[in-house]
């Protein structure tokens, strides 16, 4: 395969956005100015009005739902100034790069699903990171054996070419109403002024502490004497403010062709390792040419019709739209609202079991592998999977089906099952809507909490470790591996931003972080809302459970404590394991956000009430 063909996905380059943005340094009232980049402990009064979160908001004028109130306020501010849902999504995402730097920022990438009200159509932007041109299938193989995940993660090898800024600039240029510089203004202000460190930020710091400690630039920005910042600290990031200002002045070329490209490539090739770290940090292979080649792509969305609702999502290399769509097609053959809740949940878990078998076997970067997307989303193929489901849980791993016509009927393929790691735990999801009826669902990430742990010196943001979403080695010699590294290739993702229409009009949009649990979270919210008739608030709150074609289904403790779990085990042979870990973040599945469009040009924004410390739902005019 030629390099030109490998880079076919990079067909649309983001234009340069002019217009300078001047943002003055704003100090908090009653606080003493401190040296640039140094954290300070905020006075308790400084916490008021900045950290308030509400998980539900109803009103008019537009809506934003994200994990963070400062970020949601940024999106609302843009809507109030006449920006549309795309502008609000970019403002929110850029501000998350400031306030949620361990899950967002210019060093990452993501997928955006947009409903365009005037055109009555859904478009998507693939801004996922790509492997440098020098990548081979042995990227993470040393001495004939694959590296351990953690060994690979905190290395330059794990860094993919960032697609975040290309996505932002392209979305604004093609579908926004404001200039790129205007949409970055709230993030510049927040980076300069700072934000208040809360419990969730401290938990995320602890989650990635060894990695942050390993790099001098990250120690300087995010730690104090090598340890997490205390709750209540005001963390300013003047380096990131300068980065955003330069992007506002010159557009994305600053990152892909300018000084920042050189800084990123140098950081990857020569990581700023702290001499006291016990970690072995391997250099990477990214070059400035890799950055210059990057383009965001606009593939057609996935689409299935489920009980009269049109469900739109992301096509490969995301597996979100295809896996969710296949599972919904399987479930369409059951009366989910009429059968008992326990039986419906059994069908839900089995639909995931078979959909993940097909996802693991077939889904990868479509520029490199033949993904039978039409078959995976064909209701007739789903019928060949549904007929395998009985009243008893199947024994996993189940084999993949045959999504090529003519379909094989009610039987598994003889091919062996395959599995694939998915570590996108530090994802975030943004949903926005505007008064004109445009809707955006945008899931983006730097992959693990704090990505590689590596901050670009002088620029104020962390670099992703997205390349660890590739399989490090084939799962089996008998199973073709669609997700091995290659030059210019995109690793498979589970990100699943979803927009739902009915009769051609948007009803709601939803998405979540959580690695492969993104798929199960979004699917469970969809059936909670559509089949079980829950409000969106209750659909998000409900205890979560899912299956990846594994012998046991993973569940939150609240689900395991329910009567439904007991009956599923007794009546249907389902087996469960609880999600566990050293912090509360490890015990939760997803952190969903959603916006629902109501009659009378009203909106309802919903976010998590508890998971990840709760989310932030806002509307322009609350009423």
The chain-wide mean pLDDT, for the chain, equals: 91
Residues 138/147, Cβ–Cβ less than 8 Å: no
Q: Please, which residues have CB within 8 angstroms of residue 374's CB and are 6 or more apart in sequence?
A: none
Is the pLDDT assigned to residue 610 strictly greater than 90? Answer: yes
- Mean pLDDT confidence for 128-137: 98
Question: Residue 124: how many CA atoms within 13 Å on its side-chain side?
Answer: 26
Looking at residue 586, what is its pLDDT? 75
Is the pLDDT assigned to residue 36 strictly greater than 80? Answer: no
Q: Domain of 395: which CATH number?
A: 1.10.246.130
Instruction: Tell me: do 343 and 439 sit in the same domain.
Output: no
CA distance 487 to 290: 10
Is the pLDDT assigned to residue 24 strictly greater than 90? Answer: no
Looking at residue 9, what is its pLDDT? 38
DSSP 587: G
Task: Using alpha carbons only, give the angle 606, 612, 614 rounded to the nearest 5 degrees.
Answer: 35
568 assigned to some structural domain: yes
Looking at residue 363, what is its pLDDT? 98
481 assigned to some structural domain: no
CA distance 424 to 310: 27
Whether 427 is a known active-site residue: answer yes
Q: How confident is the model at residue 230 (pLDDT cuts 50, 70, 90)?
A: very high
Looking at residue 587, what is its pLDDT? 82
Q: How far is CA 214 from CA 37, 99, 235, 281, in A?
A: 19, 22, 20, 8
Residues 50/235, Cβ–Cβ less than 8 Å: no
Instruction: Tell me: do 327 and 428 sit in the same domain.
Output: no
Which residue in 403, 325, 422 sits closest to 361, CA to CA?
403
Q: CB 300: neighbour CB atoms within 10 A?
A: 11
338 assigned to some structural domain: yes
Extract the runs of DSSP E, i.e. beta strands, from 77-215: 109-116, 121-127, 141-142, 145-146, 195-196
CA distance 507 to 437: 10
- Residue 264: both structure tokens together: 């990123």
Q: Please, which residues have CB within 8 angstroms of residue 18's CB and are 6 or more apart in sequence?
A: 179, 181, 249, 250, 251
- Residue 378: both structure tokens together: 């064909």
Instruction: Tell me: do 452 and 384 sit in the same domain.
Output: no
Choose, from 124, 427, 452, 517, the residue flagged as catalytic.
427
Instruction: Tell me: do 428 and 418 sit in the same domain.
Output: no
Domain that holds residue 144: 68-296+424-469
Which pTM was predicted? 0.92
Is the pLDDT assigned to residue 275 strictly greater than 70? Answer: yes
Residues 96/105, Cβ–Cβ less than 8 Å: yes
Instruction: Tell me: do 143 and 277 sit in the same domain.
Output: yes
Is the pLDDT assigned to residue 43 strictly greater than 90? Answer: no
pLDDT tens by residue, 174-222? 999 999 999 999 999 999 999 999 999 999 999 999 999 999 999 999 9
9 assigned to some structural domain: no
Instruction: Tell me: do 231 and 155 sit in the same domain.
Output: yes
Instruction: Tell me: do 107 and 210 sit in the same domain.
Output: yes
Instruction: Tell me: do 534 and 443 sit in the same domain.
Output: no
Question: Residue 66: how many CA atoms within 13 Å on its side-chain side?
Answer: 33
38 assigned to some structural domain: no
Q: How confident is the model at residue 585 (pLDDT cuts 50, 70, 90)?
A: confident
Residues 466/109, Cβ–Cβ less than 8 Å: yes
Q: Concatenate the DSSP letters of all residues of 67-115 into one string.
A: S-HHHHHHHHHHHHTT--HHHHHHHHHHHHHHH-TTT-STT-EEEEEEE
Instruction: Tell me: do 579 and 528 sit in the same domain.
Output: yes
Task: Report the share of the chain in percent with pLDDT over 70.
Answer: 89
429 assigned to some structural domain: yes
3 assigned to some structural domain: no
Instruction: Tell me: do 225 and 321 sit in the same domain.
Output: no
Which residue in 493, 488, 451 sits closest to 135, CA to CA?
488
Is the pLDDT assigned to residue 415 strictly greater than 60? Answer: no
When divided into structural domains, the chain yields a total of 2
Which residue in 257, 256, 90 sits closest to 175, CA to CA?
90
56 assigned to some structural domain: no
Pick the range with the lowest mean pLDDT from 149-153, 421-425, 497-501: 421-425
Q: How confident is the model at residue 2 (pLDDT cuts 50, 70, 90)?
A: very low
Q: How confident is the model at residue 422 (pLDDT cuts 50, 70, 90)?
A: low
For the ranges 397-411, 469-483, 484-498, the maximum mean pLDDT occurs at 484-498
Instruction: Tell me: do 417 and 433 sit in the same domain.
Output: no
pLDDT tens by residue, 46-96? 443 445 799 999 999 999 999 999 999 999 999 999 999 999 999 999 999
pLDDT tens by residue, 550-575? 999 999 999 999 999 999 999 999 99
Residues 509/113, Cβ–Cβ less than 8 Å: yes
Looking at residue 66, what is its pLDDT? 98
Residues 274/454, Cβ–Cβ less than 8 Å: no
Q: How confident is the model at residue 26 (pLDDT cuts 50, 70, 90)?
A: very low
Instruction: Tell me: do 388 and 524 sit in the same domain.
Output: yes
């Amino acid at each position: 395969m030629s390099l030109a063909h490998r880079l076919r996905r990079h067909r649309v380059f983001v234009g340069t956005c002019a217009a300078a943005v001047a943002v003055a340094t704003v100090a908090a009232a009653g606080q003493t100015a401190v040296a640039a980049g140094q954290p300070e402990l905020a006075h308790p009064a400084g916490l008021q009005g900045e950290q308030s979160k509400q998980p539900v908001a109803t009103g008019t004028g537009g809506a934003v739902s994200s994990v963070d109130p400062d970020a949601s306020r940024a999106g609302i501010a843009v809507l109030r100034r006449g920006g549309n849902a795309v502008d609000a999504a970019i403002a929110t995402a850029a501000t998350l790069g400031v306030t949620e730097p361990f899950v967002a920022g210019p060093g990452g990438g993501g997928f955006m699903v947009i409903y365009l009200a005037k055109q009555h159509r859904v478009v998507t932007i693939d801004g996922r990171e790509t492997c440098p041109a020098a990548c081979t299938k042995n990227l993470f193989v040393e001495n004939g054996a694959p590296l351990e995940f953690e060994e690979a993660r905190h290395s330059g090898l794990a860094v993919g070419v960032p697609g975040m800024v290309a996505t932002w600039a392209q979305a604004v240029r093609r579908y926004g109403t404001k200039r790129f510089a205007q949409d970055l203004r709230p993030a510049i202000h927040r980076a300069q002024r700072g934000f208040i460190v809360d419990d969730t930020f401290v938990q995320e710091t602890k989650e990635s502490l060894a990695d942050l400690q390993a790099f001098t630039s990250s120690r300087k920005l995010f730690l104090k004497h090598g340890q997490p910042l205390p709750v209540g600290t005001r963390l300013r990031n003047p380096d990131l403010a300068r980065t955003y200002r330069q992007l506002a002045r010159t557009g994305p070329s600053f990152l892909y062709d300018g000084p920042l490209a050189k800084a990123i490539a140098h950081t990857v090739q020569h990581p700023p390792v702290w001499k006291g770290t016990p970690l072995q940090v391997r250099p990477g292979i990214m070059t400035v040419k890799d950055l210059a080649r990057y383009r965001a792509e606009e593939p057609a969305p996935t689409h299935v019709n489920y009980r009269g609702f049109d469900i739109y999502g992301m096509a490969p290399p995301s597996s979100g739209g295809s896996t969710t769509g296949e599972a919904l097609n399987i479930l369409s053959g059951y009366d989910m609202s009429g059968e008992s809740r326990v039986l419906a949940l059994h069908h839900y878990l089995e639909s995931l079991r078979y959909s993940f078998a097909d996802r693991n076997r077939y889904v990868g970067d479509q520029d490199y592998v033949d993904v039978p997307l039409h078959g995976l989303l064909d209701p007739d193929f789903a019928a060949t999977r549904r007929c395998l489901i009985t009243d008893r849980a199947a024994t996993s791993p189940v084999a993949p089906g045959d999504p090529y016509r003519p379909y094989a009927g009610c039987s598994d393929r003889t091919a062996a099952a395959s599995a694939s790691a998915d570590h996108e735990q530090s994802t975030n999801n943004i949903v926005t809507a505007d008064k004109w009826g445009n809707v955006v669902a945008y899931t983006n990430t730097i992959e693990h909490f704090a990505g590689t742990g590596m901050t670009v010196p002088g620029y104020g943001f962390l670099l992703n470790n997205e390349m660890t979403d590739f399989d490090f080695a084939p799962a089996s010699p008998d199973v073709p591996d669609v997700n091995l590294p290659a030059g210019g290739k995109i690793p498979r993702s589970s990100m699943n931003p979803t927009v739902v229409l009915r009769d051609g009009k948007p009803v709601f949009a939803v998405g979540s972080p959580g690695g492969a649990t993104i798929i199960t979270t979004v699917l469970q919210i969809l059936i909670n809302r559509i089949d079980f008739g829950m409000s969106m608030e209750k659909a998000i709150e409900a205890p979560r459970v899912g299956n990846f074609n594994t012998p046991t289904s993973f569940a939150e403790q609240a689900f395991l404590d329910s009567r439904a779990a007991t009956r599923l085990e007794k009546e249907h042979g389902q087996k469960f394991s609880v999600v566990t870990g050293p912090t509360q973040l490890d015990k939760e599945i997803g952190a969903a956000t959603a916006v629902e469009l109501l009659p009378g040009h009203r909106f309802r924004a919903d976010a998590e009430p508890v998971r990840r410390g709760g989310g932030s739902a806002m509307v322009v005019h609350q009423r």
